[in-house]
Amino acid sequence: MTHTSLASWLSYIESQHPSEIELGLERGNAVLARLNLSRPKVNVITVAGTNGKGSTCAMLTQYLCSQNYSVGTYTSPHFLRFNERVALNNSSCDDDLLCRAFEAVEAAREGITLTYFEFSTLVALWIFDQSELDYWVLEVGLGGRLDSVNMIDTDVAVVTSIALDHVDWLGDNLDVIAREKTGIARKNKLLISGVVNPPETIASTALEIGARLHQKGVDYTFDSNEHEWSWVGGGVQYEHLPIPTLPLQNAATVLAVLVYMGFAPSQEDLETLFSTAELTGRFQKVASSPDVYIDVAHNPEAALELAQRIKHLPVKPIAVCGMLKDKDINSVMTYLADSFSSWFCCDLPGPRGAKANELNKYIVQHSHSPSFDINAFSSVQGAFEAALTQAKQVGCPVIVFGSFVTVSEYLALGQLEE
């Protein structure tokens, strides 16, 4: 079947499988074999984890590109355009190339039913194959062992963090989740773990697979103060590094990946990388007067990171928050309830969207000084417009956070204004 536009292809693949998520490699592997794809000239790097996958992929891609390597990067989800998911040398693929890739995967599918994510992953891999790249950087969508990205044998596996998330799919304890995420590793290949307080199953799974494991706190360490940080591991040491624009934990993991892959990053290159690397929706400043930040923080670990960043702002910000009800809202609000001067919560659409009033209950429950305003709105737009009005009056920043959906809807407002 041929479609004339990317929008048409995306509508088509959304209708091809009855479930949004169905973990397993059998379907994808069958189509992958028919595509007969090659591998990159140097390495495949696969990144799994509860938090930090996107920023880790972004920093790795930026460094490799700065060293004049050609890089294909596959990430998810997207904010405004599907094209964001598939990048060549840090630039999103255009519609024409994506459509050609969809045609190739559709021709190879021959009746095999694929989920949206499986189809998307195969499209990315086809494009990377056609582009004859040095490196592929692949972000796992959900879990690891049974995620469609794991169709490709990796040369370097990275696990950024482990926390309770997607418990219906991955299990309800950290040992099981760690085993699933570590399942991206391969025999005799590197496995870099940036996990704080790692479950024992990371090491045991690495041993079963035969992967070469290097763990944060065991094989490498880092330390920081308000102004700089240092890193030690693999027989090398770096000092006086600038506090990164993206989370420090992930920067330390990226440096471990580079060192154990055999790179010898210069101080100058690392200073540039950590000072300039950005990623949409990770405490990203998107407007001024008043300042507006966006952050997809939707689980406890990300909420703690956001709370720590807020402490460095000169005044308490205003929150625009929308979340999905299958996230750990209770724990998120444990970290953030007292971080804002006012709350403007909003309903999110669809069956997974939590209601603003539900969020407000958790905020009140966990706040130690509930003297601030708590408001409820039926949309991101309504909540943001009200928050913006107050922010202009009192002179404080606004942070839009809680979900990819929340941030995407905020970004879409900017497109409507243009």
pLDDT tens sequence across 101-156: 999 999 999 989 999 999 999 999 999 999 999 999 999 997 889 899 999 999 99
Cα 253 → chain centroid: 14
Confidence bin at 18 (pLDDT 50/70/90):
low
pLDDT tens sequence across 19-57: 555 667 889 999 999 999 999 999 999 999 988 999 999
* Bridge-based pairing state of the strands 212-215 and 156-159: unpaired
Q: Give the SS3 label for residue 241.
A: strand
What CATH code would you report for 284-417? 3.90.190.20
Evaluate the omega torsion of the peptide bond into residue 198 and state whether it is cis, within 30 degrees of 0: no
Written as one letter, the residue type at 32 is L
What pLDDT was estimated at residue 165?
Answer: 59
Six token digits for residue 206: 């690495």
Mean pLDDT for the chain? 92
243, with CB counted inside 10 A (0-12, 13-18, 19+), is middle
What pLDDT was estimated at residue 15?
Answer: 83
Listed in order, the ranges of the chain carrying CATH 3.90.190.20 are 284-417
What pLDDT was estimated at residue 169?
Answer: 44
Give this prediction's pTM.
0.91
Query: Contact at 8 Å (CB) between 178 and 201?
Result: yes
Listed in order, the ranges of the chain carrying CATH 3.40.1190.10 are 6-276
Q: In what order do the strands lie in the sheet with 373-377?
A: 284-287, 292-295, 398-401, 318-321, 342-346, 373-377
Instruction: Report, as an integer, the average pLDDT of 367-371.
Output: 75
The CA distance from 142 to 374, in Å, is 33
The CATH homologous superfamily of the domain defined by 6-276: Mur-like, catalytic domain (3.40.1190.10)
